[in-house]
Structure 1
């Protein structure tokens, strides 16, 4: 990577159709948040192929690919400040490195290096799991979709609280509403604490959710907010909620996650199968 830290929005571009949609989404995000946009293309020479290709030729192709992406952005969003990063190395590693100083990483669902049967390429999965900043996996038609809502999954974990902040910021920048959803799985009576009942616990969860909204409502007074506790497994509840969303935001790992896993089962399912664009947010690092 360059010695100069990369800030603002970073979009991974490889010339594929999915990465073009990611370019458009990233340009819209950079414009809405008044941030610079860096178009990043990673290239390398891999041994063991049937043909020996000179390094200089591979680099020339990489430069041409990057220039095509930059030209697309400058035509579609001329007001956005565009920067470039042509890096030699494994794409996921380069993007994870950029995420140390970037505000947002944006990727398509599967690039030219992906296998046809995979719903999410290995680069996207690795970056979503390891990046220090929020990672957006762009699906569908990009920023011009008709949906007017950002959905965010909440369970009170540090990652989900960080996801709430990301969801409100995204909604405020684009004039969208926020729907904060808690998935409530019924608790067997024998597992309830003494003197507790499920109705009381659910009521406490609703109050807790309302409390989490207070500082974000004050910070983003123009955002319409809906909160809801929905019965069902978190994966199923959030997958259904994503059906009419422009964007769904989830923490990387919730309260039910296994310690040590970088992506929980819910976030993993959404980045692979959600019907709309997905943002994965990690909890702030301890200092």
Structure 2
């Protein structure tokens, strides 16, 4: 599937996927692009008197995805929503459908897996391997600023671009954050100029954000250097945010991993929708 898809959203009839469809439909409406609602189905072999014919399984899956498209049209008037029934597992079907898309949106949990988990495996896999920015929606929230975590990495640059776009489309403020480690503040006899280093971090954040300010002069931007580990700083900021945007991987950790520990934690615990942007594949 290589044609332009606009915004792609996964739907399986669960409460979380309904929230994802509402968020995705609004995102498509704001962008003026089509919305593709995807449901994946697999043909399971069954034995015994309760086996369900394949035709019935497919018909049920078609009704589910059609329901998702109807729901999208109901919540976002005028959005061009159409249904696609993907074959195979949900991760494979959604990655295929999202080729050429602007956003891929999923709920925090679907119908499969262990219901006591906070985030389903599909959301984690898509955040790591998605062909476009991935938004994981726990609840449909549009109020509040767009918050973006910045650390100077290539993925964080992509996150900044996405955050400015979302803030402009939604008429929201944007807050760009750098987490300043608490152990960088020395005791009464400092060996380094901690205040000077913190000021340098703030100046660097301002410089990183400056080109995006020029591209989006109508977005109100606030930059902050906040003391604390990145995970906690961003989780705190997410409590009052309409959207939290992060890069898939920052500057720390093992560079071979596709999804960093901070991004992984935010997907599991942030109170607002989380968008994960990827560094250029090359």
| TM-score (structure 1 length as normaliser) | 0.91
Determine the structure 2 residue equivalent to 1:221: 217
Whole-Å Cα distance in 2 between the matches of residues 6 and 281 of structure 1? 19
Partner of 1:69: 68
Instruction: Select the residue among 145, 148, 165 that pairs with 1:149.
Output: 145
Where does structure 1 differ by over 3 angstroms across 4 or more consecutive aligned residues? Answer: 47-51, 186-190
1:189/1:178 CA distance change after superposition, 3 Å: closer
Given candidates 258, 262, 274, the residue that maps to 1:266 is 262
Distance 1:133 1:70, change over 3 A: same
RMSD over equivalenced CA pairs, Å = 1.8
CA distance in 2, matches of 1:49, 1:278: 41
The within-5 A match list for 1:170-249 is 170-186=166-182, 197-249=193-245
Distance 1:122 1:114 in 2: 8
Q: Quick one: structure 1 residues 244 and 53, their matched pair in 2 at CA, closer, same or farther if it must change by over 3 Å?
A: same
Q: Deviations over 1:93-152 (max 9, x none)?
A: 111223331110001110111321110111111111111211101122343xxx320111
Are the counterparts in 1 of residues 140 and 273 from structure 2 also a CA contact under 8 Å? no
| Structure-1 separation of matches of 2:261 and 2:96 | 25
Closer, same or farther in 2 for the Cα pair 1:49/1:30, shift >3 Å?
Answer: farther
Partner of 1:135: 134
Task: Show CA shifts across 1:50-85 (max 9, x none).
Answer: 742221111000001111111112222231111221
Distance of 1:263 and 1:239 partners within structure 2: 17
The reply on whether 1:280 has 2:276 as its aligned counterpart is yes
- Asked if the contact 2:180–2:226 (Cα under 8 Å) also holds between the matched residues in 1, the reply is yes
Distance 2:45 2:117 in 1: 24
Q: For 2:279 and 2:185, how far apart are their aligned partners in 1?
A: 32
Contact 1:103 1:134 in 2 (8 A): yes
1:87 shift after superposition: 1.2
Separation of aligned partners in 2, 1:35 and 1:220: 20
More displaced stretch, 225-234 vs 113-122: 113-122
- Look up the match of 2:38: 40
Q: Does 1:120 align with 2:119?
A: yes
Structure-2 change in CA distance of 1:24 and 1:49 (3 Å): farther
Q: Secondary structure at the match of 1:227?
A: strand
Instruction: Report how many aligned residue pairs link the two structures.
Output: 277
Structure 1, unmatched stretches of 5+, are none
Q: For 1:10-42, what per-residue CA distance to the aligned partner results, in whole angstroms no more than 9, with x for missing partners?
A: 000111111111111001001111111101111
